[in-house]
Amino acid sequence: MRRIPSQLALVATAFACMLALVACGSSAPVLQFVTISPTTATISVGTTQQFTASAYYSDGSIKDGTSLVTWGSSPTTVATIDAGGVATGVAAGSATVTAMAAGTPGASATLSVTQLTSMTVTPSSANVAAGNTQQFTATGKFRNPDGTTRQTDVTSLAKWTSAATAVATIDNTGRAAAVASGTSLITASLFGVSASTNIVVGPPVAVSLQVTPAAPSVAVGNALTFSVQELFSDGSLHPFSGTVTWSSDAAATASILAGSGISAAHAAGTANITATEGALTGTTVLSVVAGKAHYAYVNGGASSAKIAEYSVDISKSAPLVSIGTVPQAPNPSQAVLHPSGKYLYATDLNSPDCQVWVYEVNSATGAVTRAGTPPFSQVSAGKVGLNYATIDPYGRFLYVVSGSAATISTFQISQTDGSLTAVTGSPFSFATFNGPGFVITDHTGAYLYVVSTGNNTVSAFSIDQKTGAPTPLSTPTFATGASPIAAAFDPSGTHLYVADAGPAPSGPGLVTEFAMDPTTGLLTSIGADKTVTGGTNVINLTVDPSGSRLYVLDGGTAPANGQVFAFSIGTGGFLGSAIGSMVATGRFPRGIAIDPTGVLLAVDNAGDGTNSGSISLFSVGSDGALTAKTPVAAGVNAFHVIFYDAP
């Protein structure tokens, strides 16, 4: 029997021959030997394998010899091979593939041929809702050359078909797409062997929840209502059919009411808002940004029965530009914005009792118009007088405190049109009240605080989260300084500051500092009242968006102008030293507001009571100090100024 030398030996021989030829001075390269690739291969019956040959010459060159050699296969009952080196599996077994060239020992390779004898498709039967997909798997049973058998996943090799493509289609990976109700035969074929199973397509089913709006952005202090629908397997949307529960994974950034989907934005950042209905869930990302002031509103009381409107651009030297006024029958003592930015509410001074007037706000223009159709939406809320209002952070409830009636009128706010409905038991009276005035809720909407000038206290209440009704806390009142007028929370919602006018008529005026326990709503004094040196009639205050500065408004003593004092806020909410010098406002200031970026502060001035009010404007330096800008004429007997904030 002729032995074919190994490829390594042939290579060595070739180099020796090349040296000999060079020594002899031969110039025509001579074929020395050939190799074959691959040297081993395995295929199945009916499939092919490409073999190639490399030719080695005496000058050291290597060329493709696939077409130069003579190919052979033995036995041909196992595999055949054509002139181009393509072998075809015929039957299970082992065959030797050879590549021969004249003057060379040739080369050989081993080809193992397996045979697919049967296939199975799993799952054996599948029930799938329309719109869903189903992955099928094909497993082949092969007979090896030595007679043993093996099972191999042939899903990606098989040809897949669906008998009824109107019911289900299938791709070349075995993934079927359910189209419409019915039954279709799914078949996998390979090497002449096939296997089948049924797919039964039923009606579409709910697979998840779709939350809208998707990936919204809101400003700190804004509220946003999310809605949800069931997303079915066919891509259609349907109203939810069960109980949906809402949650936020970052409540300090944005909290959400579990039962209604109304969110309140508290701090810049992101929060994943998730809706859950049984096993179904849906999530969207809510981005909370610092926002900016787009518009400003100043309500006029007494002789100026209207609301002045302004556009705001803090980058301009004249940041407030008048865009009109809103005439109305009542004399508004205060205006408050709904946290959604959709509505504005104004309390009036008319007799025989106070009315709350409802307005719609055009977010694109800032224009304010009466809501509803005649008779325009309005509700009664206590006796005539300076009645103050606040809205909880989610925009669910409006509270109006009547000083003369010593009551809290409580209204539910329609999320559809902003209309008001008095809650059962409203107006509420409490023994702790004595000249109640200013009212404010905490950042979570769980607690309500009312400043009572008559007994120098802050009355604290828990808020019924379903009805909005207030209930006094276990400790119902907390002492302030003399004649408290207004209050403000810091951005964290954990520190409350109260403006105390001080002993009339000479002040000097104080600020009472409280820490608020978010779990109970109870207030704890965090130090002695801060004296506002130089103040005579402290009437209002506000905290900047960073929570590091407090600005205190002093009304002054007629006929002198008012003034604003700035203080630093240290660790634990303690008020620190004064920042810069006090700055003067116009006459009879009442309200104070700071834009969400913390660079523009506004104070409204009632003026001389003949609609000559104004808005004092101040730029806020990096150190918190105030620099006066050109004031803006209000055209109303200005009572309060508020900013419309949005992204």
- The pLDDT score that the predictor gives to residue 595 is 96
Which pLDDT value is given to residue 606?
Answer: 84
Last residue of a domain, one of 68, 89, 114: 114
Alpha-carbon gap, residue 17 to 26, rounded angstroms: 11
CATH classification at residue 621: 2.130.10.10
The pLDDT score that the predictor gives to residue 12 is: 43
Q: Strand (E) positions, 38-136?
A: 40-44, 48-50, 52-57, 62-64, 70-74, 79-81, 86-89, 93-100, 107-122, 125-129, 133-135
- C-alpha–C-alpha distance, residues 488 and 34, integer Å: 93
Q: Do residues 456 and 386 both lie within one domain? A: yes
Please report the beta strands in 456-509, taking only residues with DSSP state E, as ranges in sequence order. Answer: 457-463, 470-479, 484-489, 495-500
Are 302 and 608 a contacting pair, CB within 8 Å?
no
Q: Which domain holds residue 144?
A: 123-202
d(CA 427, CA 252): 32
* 274 and 407 together in one domain: no
498 falls within a domain = yes
Q: What is the dihedral of CA 13, 19, 25, 27, to 10 degrees?
A: 60
Using one digit for the tens of pLDDT, what is the confidence trace for 393-447?
999 999 998 877 788 989 999 998 899 999 999 999 998 888 888 999 999 999 9
- Determine, yes or no, domain membership for 1: no
Statement to judge: residues 178 and 101 lie in one domain: no
The residues of the chain scoring below 50 in pLDDT are 1-25, 374-376
How many helices (H) and strands (E) in the chain?
A: 1, 61
Q: Which of 159, 187, 202 is the last residue of a domain?
A: 202
Place of tokens 């730029």: 619
Residue whose C-alpha is closest to residue 299's, from 338, 329, 325:
325
* pLDDT value at residue 251: 94
Q: Phi/psi of residue 573, each to 5°?
A: 85, 0
How far is 580 from 601, CA to CA, in rounded Å? 15
The verdict on residue 2 lying in a domain is: no
Give me the CATH number covering residue 86: 2.60.40.1080
Q: Are residues 95 and 16 in the same domain?
A: yes
Contact 59, 19 (CB under 8 A): no
Same domain, 73 and 134: no
Check whether residue 296 and residue 278 sit in a common domain: no
Q: How many domains does the chain divide into?
A: 4
The verdict on whether omega for the bond into residue 239 sits within 30 degrees of 0, i.e. cis, is no
| Domain co-membership, 316 together with 446 | yes
Q: What are phi and psi of 208, to 5 degrees?
A: -165, 180
What are the helix (H) ranges across 44-133? none
Measured in whole angstroms, the distance separating CA 542 from the mean position of its chain's CA atoms is 29
Query: 575 and 493 in one domain?
Result: yes
| 528 and 421 inside one domain | yes
The answer to whether residues 15 and 106 belong to one domain is yes
CA-to-CA distance for 24 and 30, rounded, in angstroms?
13
DSSP state of 481: S
Judgement on whether residues 297 and 229 belong to the same structural domain of the protein: no
* Phi-psi category of residue 46: left, alpha or beta, with phi > 0 → left and psi -120 to 50 → alpha: left
Predicted local distance difference test score (pLDDT) of residue 454: 86
pLDDT at 25: 46
- Do 423 and 518 share a domain, yes or no? yes
pTM given for the model: 0.77
Does 369 reside within a domain? yes
Q: Which of 84, 114, 144 is the last residue of a domain?
A: 114
